[in-house]
Structure 1
Amino acid sequence: MTSLWLDGAPATTYPTPEPGLRFDVVVVGGGLTGVTTALLLARGGASVALLEARTLGAVATGNTTAKLSLLQGTHVSTIAKKHSTETLRDYVAANREAQQWLLGFCADEGIDVQRAPAFTYAGKREGAAQVEAELAACRSAGLDVAWVDELDLPFPTYGAVRLDDQAQFDPVSVLRGLAAAAERHNAVIFENTRVTEVIGDEVRTEHGVIRAGTVVLATGTPILDRGGFFARLEPHRSYALAFETPGPIPHGMYLSADQPTRSLRYAPTPQGELLLVGGNGHIVGREKTTRSKVADLVDWTRKYWPGATLTHSWSAQDYSPIDGLPYVGPLVPGRDHILVATGYSKWGMTNGVAAALALSERIFGRQKDWAPTLEAWRTRELAGLGTALKANGGVGLAMVGGWARAELHGDGDAPAEGGGRVGRDGVRPVATCTVDGETTAVSAVCPHLYGIVQWNDAEKSWDCPLHGSRFAPDGRVLEGPATRPLSPAPRHS
């Protein structure tokens, strides 16, 4: 599955580092948060290196639907239920400043951006109450939203919130523009460089040690377990498809308030406009079949846009914090040597830039007015305690269930093409799959916190149901908190 944005984009060719280098700041993660942070720090005169485990934009940023919007589905009302109006307004202020910063950058660099209204709509009658709650929360937050009774869409809707003059773009073009600007300010970018540990000023990678005064983890979810952020986040995976359609494509950004989620936008390409449809999100590693999620989106699209032809399908991973607000600040309370940015609840285009603005200011000894609201360690997080207990209860069930299922399935024939299964070799759970005619067996035990991985039949990957680590068929790390691969299964003579 390759996203519209990454398909056909020229490959990046950043080097790997020589050991022994030293920088003021090392930024880990080559997505929107990491590259923007590197640019801001380099502009301010810091010596900066950015380390990306794969290639720039390979994970969330290259697989987003790239809506730069202050209307965020029902997220504003979700925050309003758990926090004060002041906190809500700070969150919106952070996102507004981030939106304006990125729009200004794109204008300065000549990067194409489409301005369009954003809509949160009810796809069912019972969803109208959620939309009304979003309208009220957005107004409390100072957003100039309006109620709309009807939308020009080919399926029934039951009211919507509208916010004009929002934005969308090609995220890979934006990311590469940011990277080029960072390099012009003497930031150094390295790809194919996985960070495995940070001890003191040593940033340990598979290519050796780099030293840094400050380390920023902009890795989706922190790759260091100190701070226990994995227990404060819930990993979600969702899907996006691009279609050529014979009829008109709506020129707005639409997101349903009810389930199953449906997200719509258009995308200009040299060959004409495409319709982008997204949705069907779920917790990582806890679905029997993910392929059915994609098939359902295809069927739904062809029902309402007859003759639609699928051109691309892809997916992305997002992390939801327990109280609805991102975590931006120190990995461990009171120690600013290692800083993190995570928990964007699927709204990383604004929150990722807001995190970069907050972290760069913090490193330079300054503070944004709204930054305390996004602080990584906040006493008001008790508002999300119930969510945390529920999420970690699910983790516990996934742990027990995974080990139990592995015990029930012994060794057998190789899975069919595109299939994977978890069995056991003696007492060891083994994950076996067949992809492109090659059958591979690896340990089924996630090296992060020992969950049993599940086969993702849509993306041909092994996904951990505990905290969202994902692995290629041969065990290589794709994303998540894990920094080590699934080990090879023992061979028997």
Structure 2
Amino acid sequence: MTSLWLDRAQPLTDDPLPTTEDLDVVVVGAGLTGLTTSLLLARAGLRVACVEAREVGAVTTGRTTGKVSLLQGTHLSRIRRHRGDEIAAAYVDSNREGMEWLLRFCDDHGVPVQRRTAVTYAADDSELSSVESEHRAAVALGLPVGWRDSLDVPFPHVGATTLADQAQLDAMDVLGALAQQLREHGGTIHQGHRVRSVSKGGSPVVRLDAGQELEAEHVVLATGTPVLDRGLHFARLEPQRSYVIALEGAEPMDGMYLSAGSDSRSVRDAPGGVLVVGGSGHVVGRTRSHLAHLDALRSWADSWYPTTTETHHWSAQDYSSPDGVPIVGPITRGSRIHVASGYEKWGMTNAVASARTISADILGEVPPWAEVLHGRGAAVSNAAELARINAGVGAAVAAGAARTVRERLPGTSGPAQARACGVVGVCTHLGGLLKWNDAEETWDCPLHGSRFTSDGEVLEGPATRPLRKR
């Protein structure tokens, strides 16, 4: 399941690990957050090393739909409902700065960008009130949105809010340019090195899977969800898996479309007559069949774009916070370890805003919107939503226990699949019983979103150690 963007990307070379050098910052994760943070700090004259467990862009950034927008489905009305106008306005300001920085960077370094109108639409009457609420929230927050009763698209809709002059891009093009600029400013990139642990107290020491150690004044965990349990961030995040297909033979579009329902549809074009359709998401590890979600997208595309042909299909993982506001800042009070997570599928703007926040925490001159958003007088996250997230974890624990009993019976395949793979199907993070992902042939944890290859190697999530072998 290779994404359209990863399939096109050129591999990047590695630098020697700076195990004997004095580092100012080690950044863990070479997606958009990690590379942007690394570049901002390197530009300021700091000695920065960016360490990536797999390859640059291998996890979320290389699997995004690549929308760069301030209109984000029904996200603004959600934040406004949970946190009020001040937090929602600061969120818009942070994303505006992230968007402006990213598009300016693309313009300066020759990264192709297509300008499009962002559209949040109601697929039917049941979604209309949500879209109307989003429209009102956007207006209240100063965004120049417009209302449309009809769109020039073939799929069903009954109304939409629109925001002109937003953008779309190939995120791997951005990462390539960021990597080049990072090296030009003295930073280094190291792929294929998974972080196992980071020491407590004083200058953090990062320990890698092959035994090497990197010591720095600060560590940034730009890993989707923090790979350390300090701060218990995994308990405040809900891991979401969503699916994408790319199809050739489409006409160019003038908009980027996202429906407001829980089973959403995301639609955009890409250069070369390509259509990109996403959606059909679920909490990681909590579904009967992952293939069924892909098939739902294919069925939808067959209905409304019957002359197109599928070329790629893939899935991506994102994390949502209880109130819709990303979690960014020191992992615990006063710590030199910094984290960023909870973008809820809007990483193209939030990743850059988070990089700006973390680099400012290290260098000084924190922007006003970051003061409001991230731990400086901000309200406690929504308690009811936090309870819902952890109730889902509890239900997954109970379901896993029931499944273990059921699958011991003759004719069932769970333990048999684990035996065939030669691994123990128990997550190495907190012992969750893993679910087999039939679309990607991976082991997925329904508790906090750790994922493993069929033979047990870590792919993503808070886990840092492979599955035990049988």
Q: Same fold (TM over 0.5)?
A: yes
Match of 1:436 in 2: none
Counterpart Cα distance in 1 of 2:302 and 2:67: 23
**C-alpha displacement at 1:365, in angstroms?**
1.9
1:306 aligns with 2:306: yes
For 1:12 and 1:185, how far apart are their aligned partners in 2?
17
Is this contact kept in 2: 1:327–1:376, CA < 8 A? no
Which residue is equivalent to 2:41? 41
Contact kept, 8 Å, 1:99 with 1:350, in 2: the verdict is yes
1:255 aligns with 2:258: yes
Instruction: Quote the Cα distance in structure 2 between the aligned partners of 1:303 and 1:225.
Output: 45
Are residue 432 (structure 1) and residue 436 (structure 2) matched? no
1:426 alignment partner in structure 2: none
Q: Percent identity?
A: 49
Matched, 1:481 2:462: yes
* Residue correspondence of structure 1 range 6-155 to structure 2 within 5 A: 6-15=6-15, 17=17, 19-155=19-155
Q: Secondary structure at the match of 2:421?
A: strand
The Cα shift of 1:372 comes to 2.2
CA drift at 1:404: 2.6
Tell me which amino acid in the other structure corresponds to 2:275.
L
Q: Which runs of 5+ in 1 are unaligned?
A: 416-420, 424-429, 434-438
- 1:329–1:377: 8 Å Cα contact kept in structure 2? no
C-alpha deviations, 1:196-241, integer Å up to 9, x for none? 1110421111231100100011100000000000010000000011
Q: CA deviation at 1:259?
A: 3.3
Could you tell me how far 1:379 is from its partner in structure 2? Answer: 5.2
Cα gap change, 1:422/1:17 in structure 2, threshold over 3 Å: closer, same or farther? farther
After superposition, the C-alpha distances for 1:214-273 in whole angstroms (9 at most, x for unaligned) are: 00111000000000000100000000110013x5342210000113200000010xxx22
| Structure 1 segment 13-412 matched on structure 2, within 5 A | 13-15=13-15, 17=17, 19-200=19-200, 201-207=204-210, 208-245=212-249, 248-268=251-271, 272-333=272-333, 335-375=334-374, 380-382=379-381, 384-410=382-408
Matched residue SS, 1:474: coil
Contact 1:329 1:336 in 2 (8 A): no
SS of match in other structure, 2:273: strand
Cα–Cα, structure 1 residues 400 and 112, in superposed 2: closer, same or farther, change >3 Å?
Answer: same
Shift of 1:86: 1.6
The normalised TM-score by structure 1 is: 0.92
For 1:264, give the aligned amino acid. V
Paired with 2:285 and 2:209, the residues of 1 have a C-alpha distance of 27
In structure 2, the gaps of 5 or more residues are none
Q: Give the C-alpha shift of residue 403 in structure 1.
A: 2.4
- Partner amino acid, structure 2, of 1:241: I
Residue 418 of structure 1 corresponds to none
* Residue 441 of structure 2: aligned partner: 460
Structure 2 vs 1, CA of residues 376 and 61 (structure 1 numbering), >3 Å: closer, same or farther?
Answer: farther
Count of residue correspondences: 466
Which aligned segments of 4 or more residues in structure 1 are displaced greater than 4 angstroms?
376-379
Deviation at 1:406, TM superposition (A): 1.4
Which amino acid counterpart does residue 468 of structure 2 have in structure 1? S
**Shift in Å at residue 15 of structure 1?**
4.3
Partner of 1:339, secondary structure, is strand
Letter of the 2:239 partner, please give it: P
Read off the aligned partner of 1:395 and give its amino acid letter.
V
Question: How far does residue 87 in structure 1 lie from its aligned partner after superposition?
Answer: 1.4
The Cα shift of 1:8 comes to 3.4
Pick the structure with more helix per residue. Answer: 2
Separation of aligned partners in 2, 1:481 and 1:262: 28
Higher share of residues assigned strand: 1
Q: Which amino acid aligns with 2:106?
A: C
Query: 2:15·2:188 contact (CA, 8 Å) conserved in 1?
Result: no
Whichever residue aligns with residue 407 of structure 2, its letter is H
CA RMSD of aligned residues (A): 1.6
Residues 118, 166 of structure 1: 8 Å contact kept = yes
Per the alignment, residue 427 of structure 1 pairs with none
Distance 2:29 2:409 in 1: 38
Deviations 1:397-443 (A, max 9, x none): 11122123113323878x9xxxxx422xxxxxx7527xxxxx41211
Task: State the TM-score, normalizing by the size of structure 2.
Answer: 0.96
Tell whether the 8 Å contact from 2:243 to 2:316 is kept in structure 1 after alignment: yes
Q: Distance in 2 between matches of 1:50 and 1:235?
A: 24
